[in-house]
Amino acid sequence: MTDIFTSKLSKSYEDVLAVNSLDLSINNEIYGLLGPNGSGKTTTVGMLTTLLSPSSGNAQVCGHDVTTEPKTVRECISYVPQYMAVDIRLTGRENIDFYAKLYGIRDKSERKKRIDYALDIMDLNDRADDLTKTYSGGMQRRLELAQALTHQPKVLFLDEPTVGLDVIARKMIWEHIADLKKNGITIFVTTHQMEEAERYCDRVGILKKGVVVKEGTPSHLKSALKSIITIKSDGKMPNILPDNVDFIGNENGSVVYASDNGADMLPSLIKKYDEAGIRVYSSMVRDPTLEDIYLMSVGTETVDTEQFNRAQIRRIIMKG
Partner 1 sequence: MYRFATYVWRDTIRWKRAPLNVLSTLAMPAAWLIFMGLVMPVKYDNYLDFVTPGILVLTMLTSSLGAGSSIMFDKTLGYLNKFLALPSPRESILIGKIVFITLRGLMQSTVILIISILIGATIYPISTYIGMYILLTLFGISISALGTTVALYLDNHDSYAAFQAFVSMPLYFASTALIPMNEMPDALRYIAEFNPLTYAIDGIRDIAQGIIPTFSICFLIILAILIMIVCSWKFRSITIG
Q: Is 26 in the site for partner 1 (CB under 8 A)?
A: no
Is residue 186 involved in binding partner 1 (CB under 8 A)?
no
Say how far apart CA 51 and CA 90 lie, in whole Å.
Answer: 26
**Minimal distance, residue 264 CB to partner 1, in Å:** 51
Which residue type does 301 have?
A: E
Which window, 75-83, 192-200, 229-237, 297-305, contacts partner 1 (CB under 8 A)? 75-83
18 binds partner 1 (CB under 8 A): no
Quote the DSSP letter at residue 133.
G
Amino acid at 106: R
* 51 lies in the binding site for partner 1 (CB under 8 A): yes
Q: Is 317 in the site for partner 1 (CB under 8 A)?
A: no
**Residue 206 and residue 290: Cα distance in Å, rounded?**
10
When asked if residue 247 is in the footprint of partner 1 (CB under 8 A), the reply is no
53 binds partner 1 (CB under 8 A): yes
CB of 225 to partner 1, least distance (A): 37
Binding residues for partner 1 restricted to 129-168, rule: CB under 8 A: 131, 151, 157
Q: How far apart are CA 86 and CA 104, in angstroms?
A: 19
**Smaller CB separation from partner 1, 55 or 254:** 55
Quick check: 169 and 141 in contact, CB under 8 A?
A: yes
Any contact of residue 52 with partner 1 (CB under 8 A)? yes
101 forms part of the interface with partner 1 (CB under 8 A): yes
Nearer to partner 1, 84 or 206 (CB): 84
Q: How far, CA to CA in Å, does 22 sit from each of 39, 51, 55, 57, 236?
A: 12, 17, 12, 8, 38
CB 43 within 8 A of CB 18: yes
Residue 110 is a binding residue for partner 1 (CB under 8 A): no
Which residues have a Cβ under 8 Å from the Cβ of 125 and sit 6 or more positions away?
A: 116, 119
Number of alpha carbons in the 13 Å side-chain half-sphere of residue 222: 18
Least distance to partner 1, CB of residue 141, Å: 13
Maximum separation of any 2 CA atoms in the chain, in Å: 77
Give the residue, chosen from 58, 63, 65, 81, that forms a contact with partner 1 under the rule CB under 8 A.
Answer: 81
Strands 203-208 and 30-34: parallel
Question: Under the rule (CB under 8 A), what is the footprint of partner 1?
Answer: 49-53, 70-71, 74-75, 77-85, 87, 89-90, 94, 98-99, 101-104, 106, 131, 151, 157, 310-311, 314-315, 318
